Amino acid sequence: MRWSVDHSARESLQHQIAGCVRHGMASGELPAGEQLPPAAELATALSVDRNTVLAAYRQLRDEGLLEFRRGRGARVTASAPDLSPVTEAAQALVTVARTHGLGRAELVRLIEELT
Amino acid sequence: MSLAATPGPPRGPAPGPGRYSIYTGRAANWSVILATAAFLVPLLVLGKPSDGSWLDLALPALILAVVVLLFLLTCSSIRTTAGPGGVSVYFGVLGLPRRTYPLERIERAEVIDLRFWYVAGGFWWTPRCTSYTLRSGATLRLVLRGGHTVLVTVPDPRAAVDAVEEARAARG
C-alpha cells in the first residue's frame, strides 16, 4: 500500500501515518487480518523515528483498528469497521462531480465546507 | 527471458520537499511452505526403520523441525518497500536477509508479466538476474545500472514502480 507523509506539514507525523492506515482500510488495500510493516522498516522508509510509527500503531490499536500479537506484528482487526460503503459513496460522488465538470480542487473544497 | 513490460502512468501527485511517498507490500510464501511440509513429512514416516522404535526418529524429526523453523523465519514471506530510499527486500519473520537497491543504482523500474517457469519460489540468483519471486503474473522488475535484473513479487507492482519513479523525479 502507499504511505505518504509530509515532514513540513502542520499535522503530526504520527497522525499522518495513522491516516495512511485508515485510508488503506477504506480503499480495501488493508483487509481484516492484513499484517502491517514492522515499525522499524516503515520508519526507515519514511525517514521518521521508529517511536513515531509505534505511537501511530498504538493509537490505532486503542481505536480498535489494529491488534498486536507477539511475533506477528500489528494486524488489522477482524472487528475493524467496514468502510466499503463510504468508499463506494465517494466513488459515486467523484463520478457525479466529473459529470458536472467539477475538478479535484473544487470537490475537495466542497467536502471541506460540508465537514 | 520473454517478459512483456506493462507501461502505465504514475499515480498521485509528485512529492514536494519534505514529502515522503513510499510503497510497502508483503507476499506470503504459503504455497512453498505447504509443499515442503507435504514432501518432508512422508519422507520422515517412510524413513522409520522396520525393526526400530519411533524414538529412532527423534534426531531426524528435530532436524526437520529446525529446517522448517529456519524456513519460516527466513522464507515464509517477502516484504518490499519502495521509495526515496530505493527498493528494499526483507525476508521472513525477522526481515533477514535484507537487500536494498538504492535509487542511484536503479536504471529502470517496470511491471512485467512473469511466466510460471521463471518463478523462483523464494530466492534465486544468477549473474544476470536476482529473483525474489513467489508467483507468476504481474511482477516488479528493476533493471540496475550494468544490466543486472531484479525480480520481486509484490501485491501491487504498479504502485511500487510509481513510488520509485516519484522518488527519482523528486531527486531530479
- Are residues A105 and A61 located together in one domain of the fold? no
Q: Is the pLDDT of residue A42 over 90?
A: yes
Does residue A6 form part of some domain?
no
- Are residues A61 and A21 located together in one domain of the fold? yes
- Are residues A23 and A60 located together in one domain of the fold? yes
ipTM over 0.95: no
**Domain B22-28+77-171, CATH 2.30.29 — does that match?**
yes
Q: Cell for B18? A: 519534505
Contact A19/B at CB under 8 A: no
pLDDT recorded at residue B49: 61
pLDDT recorded at residue B47: 65
Does residue A5 form part of some domain?
no
Interchain pair A5, B19: CB under 8 A: yes
- Domain around A100: 84-114
- Are residues A98 and A45 located together in one domain of the fold? no
Residue spans of chain B under pLDDT 50: 1-14
Q: Please state the domain count of chain A.
A: 2
User: Scanning every residue of chain A, which has its alpha carbon at the shortest distance from the alpha carbon of B85?
Assistant: A45
- What would the pLDDT profile of A55-106 be if each residue is shown by its tens digit? 999 999 998 899 988 767 889 987 666 667 777 788 889 889 888 888 888 8
- Are residues A68 and A88 located together in one domain of the fold? no
User: Scanning every residue of chain A, which has its alpha carbon at the shortest distance from the alpha carbon of B14?
Assistant: A4
pLDDT recorded at residue B15: 52
Top pLDDT among A83 and A9 is at A9
pLDDT recorded at residue B170: 85
pLDDT recorded at residue B50: 60
- Are residues A33 and A69 located together in one domain of the fold? yes
Does residue A1 form part of some domain?
no
